[in-house]
Amino acid sequence: MKRISKGGAGAVLLLRDLPNVFPRMQHVWADAGYTGKLAGDIKTYLSWTLEIVKHPWSDWQGTWAPKDAPPRPVEVPTGFVVLKRRWVVERIFAWLGKSRRMAMDYAALVETAENLVYEVLIRLVVRRLAKG
């Protein structure tokens, strides 16, 4: 078995059983914190593609210019910027936060917290199905 890179080890171990659960899954979106060798590990071990969602200004940070060269013009957006696919995660966190049981961390076990998440999302789906 190949060695998993240090940066993506946790994510790959977390996702390793998902191809059996979701056989049609082919693409994953990740936050900019997962840049690096994670894409190669996900392709190698899970045969999925990975897309890193970046901020519009992330490409110019950390770049150096020659000493005598004028600074590169950078257009930093002002105000609120919608990031691609980020709204999906934020929406789910908002749904979970609206539940009274999820407002505080009462769970002593991880399994209890996981079951509370399932309960909230099942209740959401049932309400939507009941509306018609």
pLDDT of residue 15: 80
The C-alpha torsion from 39 through 117 and 105 to 15, rounded to 10°, is -20
Nearest-angstrom CA–CA distance, 24 and 22: 6
- pLDDT tens, position by position, 6-39: 555 677 788 888 888 888 989 888 877 777 777 7
What confidence tens digit (pLDDT) does each residue in 92-108 have? 888 888 887 777 777 77
Q: What is the pLDDT of residue 82?
A: 77
Location of structure tokens 């240090």: 6
Contact 27, 49 (CB under 8 A): yes
The answer, as to whether pTM is greater than 0.75, is: no
Contact by Cβ (8 Å): 13, 5: no
